[in-house]
Structure 1
C-alpha cells in the first residue's frame, strides 16, 4: 500500500525593504511630534522593538536576495543604521556604499555611508571622522538642551570629502550648531541640522 504524504509549507512572503524603510521613517517622524515626557516610553515600547523586527527582516532579505536596486540597498542600510551593534553599523556603511556604486547620484546613500562609518567608529570607542553623530546636553545657561558633537576628529577628513558626502564643511557644521543652540525647540534644532532651514 502506497501512502502519499503531502507536506504543507507556510507561504513565503517577499520582504519589501522599501516598505520597511517607510515604516522606519514614519516611527521617527512621529517620535519628533511627541511631548518630551512621552519620548522615552515611545522609544522603548514602539521604536526599538520595531527596529529589531525590521532589522531581522532585512538580514533575512540579504541572505536570500543578491540583486537590489540602489534605493533598496539604501533602505536596507538605513534600517541597519538603526540597529544596536557595531556589525549593524558596519553593514549599513557597506550597503550604502553598494547603493552609491549602483547610482552615484544617490546623495542619500553618499551621506549615509559617512554617517554609518561615524556611528560604527563611535560604537567601537573611536572618534567620529565626518561629524554626523549628535548628542544632546543642557546649554551653559541651563535654559534648554542643545545638540553637540562628541569625540570628533576634525582633521581625519577634508572639507572637500565632507562636501562630496553631503556634509557641511567644518565651518558650516560649527555655524549650524551655533544657530541650533539659539533655538529652544528640539524639533526646530533637528530640522535645521537636517535641512538647513
Structure 2
C-alpha cells in the first residue's frame, strides 16, 4: 500500500498573513513583557478574549499563512485547559506545514504542556515550574523518550542546557 500524499499544506504557495491575527499575537506577547508587574486576573480575562477572537478567525477560515497559525498557537498556548493546549499544538503543526519552521518549538512546548495537564510527563523538557517552597522543576518529565537530536531539531535545548537553565533560574529566582 502506498500512503496518500498529504494535501493542502501548500508550503510553496503565497499566503496572506491576517493583520488582525498578528495584532492579537502582538498584544498577547506584550501582555507578558514584564512578569513582575502582571495583573493576573486582567491577563486571564484578556487571554480569554484573545482566544475567543482567534477561534472565530479559525472557524471563519480567516487564517492562511504559517505566521497566522504560529500566532494562533501562541494564543491558545496561554489557555486554561488541556483542550486549549492540544489545539495550540495542532495549530503549530499547521504553521510548520505552511513553512514556518520556527513553529517547531511551540509545537514541542504545547505538546509538553498538554501532556502535563492530562497527568502525563512532558517529553521535550520545555515546561519549568516553581512550586511554593521547592526548587525549580520540569517534573514530571520523561527525559529518556527523545534523544537530544530530536530536541535540537525541534528548537528545544538538549538536556545538559536544560539542567543549566534550571540551575540558573534557581540562583536568580530561588
Same fold, judged at TM 0.5 (above): yes
Deviations 1:75-108 (A, max 9, x none): 001101111121111111011111111115x32x
5+ residue gaps, structure 1, are 1-13, 141-145, 187-197
TM-score of the pair, normalised by structure 1: 0.73
TM-score of the pair, normalised by structure 2: 0.83
Is 2:123 aligned against 1:129? yes
Cα separation, 2, equivalents of 1:112 and 1:21 = 14
Match for residue 117 of structure 1?
A: 111
Matched residue count: 157
5+ residue gaps, structure 2, are 1-17
Is 2:24 aligned against 1:20? yes
Match for residue 165 of structure 2?
A: 176
Query: Cα 1:47–1:165, aligned 2, differ >3 Å: closer, same or farther?
Result: same
Tell me by how many angstroms 1:171 deviates: 1.2
- Bigger CA radius of gyration: 1
Decide whether the 8 Å contact of 2:63 with 2:69 is kept in 1: no
- 1:134 counterpart SS class: coil
Higher relative contact order (CA 8 A, sep 6+): 2
Runs of 4+ in 1 over 4 A off after TM superposition: none
Is 2:18 aligned against 1:29? no
Match for residue 10 of structure 2?
A: none
Superposed, 1:93-108 pairs within 5 Å as 93-103=89-99, 106-107=101-102
